[in-house]
Amino acid sequence: MHVAMFLSNSLRYALSRGLTYSTIKAASAAIFTAHNMAGLDDMTSHSFVQAVCSCAQRSLSSRGQFRKAPLSLDLCMIITVSFLLQPSQCYEVRSVL
């Protein structure tokens, strides 16, 4: 339970600082290694910890910072009409996008 609480606080910190999922993943790996070296049970495989890690992955990986904007309806129409009129020139349109 303590590991899940620590990782959830780490998630809150990562969200406030703009950090990525690799921060939570590294913390979880360090906790696993420390417990393993001490001969303790693997706490990172507990369902609560896995749920926090899944939430962190969804929250930190899907912020869309590096995603392209979706195609507008107008641009989709232009591409479709271009393809219907001159299919050979669709490769030129694709290279621009």
Going by the DSSP 8-state scheme, the letter that residue 63 receives in this structure is: S
Measured distance CA(39)–CA(88) in Å, rounded: 65
Q: What is the pTM of this model?
A: 0.60
19-74 confidence digits (pLDDT tens):
889 989 999 999 999 999 999 999 899 888 998 998 888 888 765 555 566 777 78
CB 15 within 8 A of CB 25: no
Percent of the residues in the chain that have a pLDDT greater than 70, as a whole number: 78
- Report pLDDT for 90: 57
- Return the number of other C-beta atoms located less than 10 Å from residue 7's C-beta: 24
Note the Cα 94 to chain centre separation in Å.
26
Q: Whole-number mean pLDDT of the chain?
A: 81
Q: How confident is the model at residue 18 (pLDDT cuts 50, 70, 90)?
A: confident
